[in-house]
Amino acid sequence: MKKSFVTGGTGFIGAHVVRKLVERGDDVTVLVRPWSNRSLIADLPVRFAIGDITDAETLETAIKGMDVIYHIAADYRLWSRDPSEIYRSNVQGTHNVLEVSFRVGVEKVVYTSTVGCLGLPADGSEGNEQTPVTRNELVGHYKKSKYDAEQIAVDYAARGLPVVIVNPSTPVGPGDIKPTPTGRIILDFLRGKMKAYVDTGLNLVAVEDVAEGHILASARGRVGEKYILGNRNMTLKELLDVLARMTGLPAPNLRIPHWIAVVAAALDVAAARMLGREPYIPLEGALMARKKMFFSSQKALRELGMPQSSVEDALARAVDWFEKNGYVRLKRRIGSSA
């Protein structure tokens, strides 16, 4: 029986990882802060260690004696009043987890990065783990912080820490509790707020497959290597059309130029600062949308055996979960697949 330790285990991806670890019989400990919402894993027989990735002392006590570390915790926001909070969690927090893991001699570490800090080919084709990118090319504090954290993971692998890096693309499915920026797109559509769209795209993947990819990475991943955990490249319009067929709600047909979206986002951010609220349209999100985030998962399929479940079914599970948990009330519903 493996002793597995999970940071971010109460979140969207992390909760699915915890569930799969429990199902395979691991002895699981989840790092939580006193105020963490544990509802996604409340039914599971796991231990809770009170602490914070930004507090190295609490990590030392919690990680000692563990076999495998899954460092999934991250501050995933496209806007923050104080960007230093994002760097503190994503960069300093990652350094703390890996330093303690190195010091106590764990068997394996799986570090959760993101495709957001990988390169994209200039011709619009799929990116992969080797596509070059510089930090200056990345838009926003979230991507830059994850890029910095990934470099820390690479450095620790070179020093001898058995760390494998996974780069999830855009997971969808049940349990998007915050929700993530992608979950907000789905909710905006379900609430009738998506009146127009821009020409952009994402690589979508079932969150359950991403969780399985983490566990496969711990067993089969090569130390110091990166693995994109993704599945299907879809334009935003294709995603909205799938949701429309699934729910019977109308899909937007008005495509707006990127510059209009960027200007609208900039104005909304300015208004948000004056009114003391979060922006409805994060500027970073509008800037990111200028490129299609299309990626290849062939390396993870080939080396890890990464599953590729139906994205349409994952979207249906996401819609069901949002509805059952009170995020939205749908008046019309046709089916659960495209």
Spell out the domain ranges in the chain.
Answer: 3-175+205-230+294-309
Q: Is pLDDT above 50 for 338?
A: no
Beta 68-71 vs 3-7: how paired, if at all?
parallel
337: pLDDT strictly greater than 50: no
Helix ranges, 6-53 (H): 12-23
Q: 207 pLDDT band (50/70/90 cuts)? A: very high
For the ranges 203-217, 268-282, 312-326, the lowest mean pLDDT is seen at 268-282
Would you state the pLDDT for residue 336?
43
CATH class, domain 3-175+205-230+294-309, is alpha beta
Q: How confident is the model at residue 7 (pLDDT cuts 50, 70, 90)?
A: very high
Mean pLDDT lowest among 26-35, 224-233, 275-284: 275-284
Q: Which pLDDT value is given to residue 51?
A: 93
Is residue 80 scored above 80 in pLDDT? no
Tens digit of each residue's pLDDT (9 = 90 or more) over 267-294: 766 676 676 777 666 666 665 666 788 9
β-bridge partners, 141: none
